[in-house]
A and B are shown apart, each in its own frame.
Chain A
């Protein structure tokens, strides 16, 4: 009794759907093919500051949702995690608007020199959403974003990296389970969330490919230095209305100084009286209630980094008896 060998003709019908199934599953989580140009690999030429320009949409806007704007926001949220000094989207839009540029398509046509003059950054990221689709019908649900994104070096006019990728969230007859199909259908109906989720996956996949220059800057990170902070607070001093808290701090010159009284009062300005010496005060009001708050002096540099120092020799304490009526 010889053992019967199963021929390829028997395996083939099972093999095909298996391969098809895996192909479809993997299609949903495709990697982004990011083309990095040679110039980018030169660490000396890596851009430090980057602005993300408004993304454009080639097709008319779908109802109530702007997938390209959603994608830009989502992309920025993930991109700012990398080691670039990225300009907040609001700042980018304000600068462009001040220059009379509100049409996203026209912004993309601007020369690198002009963009650099307006935004003051080393590079920009441009995004063109070629197609955006959200469809839910029967047992088929799909949301996709097809976009072309690149980074343009404004100093040289060269493209540092670029990609064209389609990210799709799909659910349908080839989904593994019925529960998944129903759940995906329900989720896909929420158009805004569905686009955001697709944009999120697109962004995450892109971030894995974009070179992160964080390690190059590690040595350079330095917070503004505060050598000492002094106040007129004393251990046994209870503050009364119209009393004044005087704060002075010594540190790096030419910065923006301010102080906080715990988390209760923030950003009370300090004036630089002589280079490196900052002074300021706060007058207690009758409505103020300060219970054991520390004074924190801060110096903020132009690039947004803040140096802080706590004054630990006294706490701001309010004399509750001064406001208590008879």
Chain B
């Protein structure tokens, strides 16, 4: 009606209508407000049809948003189907998640993207959350507000390839100039109750939201991440893997050197005995008595050490019980004469060296009796190239009441050893105790006091 009136009025009247026109234009722009923040990574471009992406179930802020979440996920899927990469079908994603008991979308962000990579067999995953779905009505005015967060993470690297957050707001009411009295009354009701409007808004929102992912080559500089951003969970776990690798490298080096030293440490019949046991184990492991089995297990830390690290990797959660260095400490160089004097015997770098003692069992307590012999047996619980690692483990054991000390051999390896015994049986008993109580792999070594 207003439009018709507009056309019939004379030109001079246009001056009066100009502010109205401006007002209409302003409403047109502000009527459907949209706030979109989106960024993509340069690596998004490298995703091709050879790469598969999975859209995970949508997280919602409350149960009432389930229908909206389904609609949004379906729309997101249809929109991303226009991208260069391949999409894993929804029923496969849901089926695999169900098989792995991953039923709560709220917990997805706490899981390492690499894990999703293995569970779903995909190169990237899309996490999304509906932050807000708000429908309000007040007599002649109603509005709908939607807010959504979304991010795509590369499961191979943990890099965030796309991150977006969008809020869409639309309303119906006097502000939009109703075409009549009925529409003024009924349109706001219809606006909030008709699901079609919500669907229309969602479709519009998704179109804007996914525009950059569909054509990442169109991304302007301000829409790109300056540096690669790694997802928090992936950062933590990648750091753990790196730390483990560093640790493993230390172990490998130390153990290789330790193996070289082994004939020097286990002298006389001890080494031969151990070798004999190993051969017997190879022939028939079940034929060995449990005690002998323990000896074999304790013989060299190579196998046990590697096994320990692998367990941790399997879980990808806790770090091994080996203490972490608080700060890198430079090793103290040994005096030249000492190096010459300790070709086969450990160099004690701690003060207050104690004489070997005998293990005396008294009820539940284990006491140690001093011995006077120069040659002794000791329980070795670790060997490190870095002094700080060795020192930390030693301190930890001392705090627990063990007579632990750090020695250094001529290969500049710092070894953590516990107690000094005259006879081997006592050392083996302590080794067993440490293995059970402290969960530390160890072996019995023979050495002579320097």
Contacts and interface: CB of A to CB of B under 8 A. Distances in A.
Contact of A306 (B121, B183, B190, B191): B121
B74 A313 contact: no
Interface string A41-81: 00000000000000000000000000000000010111011
A263 B89 contact: no
Given A204-B199, A207-B74, A298-B121, A179 B177 contact: yes
B248 interface: yes
A177 B187 contact: yes
Interface string B80-123: 01100001011110111011000000000000001001101111
Interface string A274-295: 0000000000000000001110
A177 B78 contact: no
A221 B187 contact: no
Contact of B249 (A29, A175, A236): A236
Contacts of A217: 91, 95
B434 to A, nearest CB: 26
Contact of B190 (A25, A80, A181, A292): A25
A262 B32 CA distance: 42
A267 B74 contact: no
A307 B246 contact: no
B179 interface: yes
Given A173-B179, A235-B252, A266-B50, A296 B91 contact: no
Nearest to B43: A263
User: Which of B172, B177, B316 is the most central at the interface, judged by chain A CB atoms within 10 Å of its CB?
Assistant: B177
A80 B89 contact: yes
B106 to A, nearest CB: 22
Interface residues of A, number: 64
Interface in B34-60: 43, 46, 50-52
B172 A176 contact: yes
Interface string B273-299: 000000000000000000000000000
A204 B198 CA distance: 13
B203 to A, nearest CB: 6
A178 B186 contact: no
Contact of A263 (B82, B154, B186, B245): B154
A17 B123 CA distance: 56
B89 A223 contact: no
Contacts of B241: 294, 312, 315
Contact of A178 (B99, B176, B191, B194): B176
Contact of B74 (A81, A175, A315): A81
Given A17-B182, A83-B91, A235-B252, A176 B187 contact: yes
A158 interface: no
A218 interface: yes
Contact of B246 (A25, A173, A177, A235): A235
B262 interface: no
Given A182-B28, A223-B96, A310 B90 contact: no
B122 to A, nearest CB: 7
A215 to B, nearest CB: 8
Contact of B176 (A17, A177, A262, A296): A177
A110 interface: no
Nearest to A216: B91
Contacts of B118: 308-310
Nearest to B199: A204
A120 interface: no
Interface string A203-222: 11001000010100110010
Interface residues of B, number: 72
Q: Taking chain B's interface residues, is the majority helix, strand, or loop, or is none over half, making it mixed?
A: helix
A241 interface: no
B159 interface: yes
A76 B89 CA distance: 12
A17 B46 CA distance: 57
Given A218-B98, A296-B156, A310-B114, A223 B74 contact: no
Nearest to A20: B182
Nearest to B120: A223
Contact of B46 (A183, A223, A263): A263
B196 interface: yes
User: Which of A200, A314, A315 is the most central at the interface, judged by chain B CB atoms within 10 Å of its CB?
Assistant: A200
B157 A183 contact: no
A180 B184 CA distance: 13
A196 to B, nearest CB: 9
A323 B168 CA distance: 51
Nearest to B238: A292
A263 B176 contact: no
A206 to B, nearest CB: 12
B77 interface: yes
A177 B178 contact: yes
B121 A312 contact: no
A28 interface: yes
B179 A197 contact: no
A83 B244 CA distance: 42
A178 B177 contact: yes
Contact of A305 (B24, B92, B157, B310): B92
Contacts of B81: 76-77, 80
Interface in A184-207: 197, 200-201, 203-204, 207
Contacts of A80: 77, 81, 87, 89
B145 interface: no
A18 interface: yes
A82 B3 CA distance: 46
Nearest to A176: B187
Given A29-B194, A179-B176, A266-B50, A308 B3 contact: no
A78 B194 contact: no
Nearest to A193: B207
Contacts of A101: none
Contact of A81 (B78, B99, B178, B191): B78
A118 interface: no
Nearest to B248: A235
Interface in B161-218: 172, 175-180, 182-183, 186-187, 190-191, 194-196, 199-200, 203
B433 interface: no
A239 B431 CA distance: 40
18 contacts: A22-B190, A28-B196, A76-B81, A82-B90, A177-B172, A179-B31, A182-B28, A200-B78, A201-B200, A204-B74, A235-B249, A263-B154, A266-B46, A266-B123, A294-B156, A310-B114, A310-B117, A312-B241
- Nearest 10 interchain pairs by C-beta: A176-B187, A214-B91, A177-B176, A235-B245, A29-B196, A306-B121, A83-B91, A77-B78, A179-B176, A236-B249
Given A177-B187, A296-B117, 4 more contacts: A221-B91, A235-B244, A236-B249, A306-B122
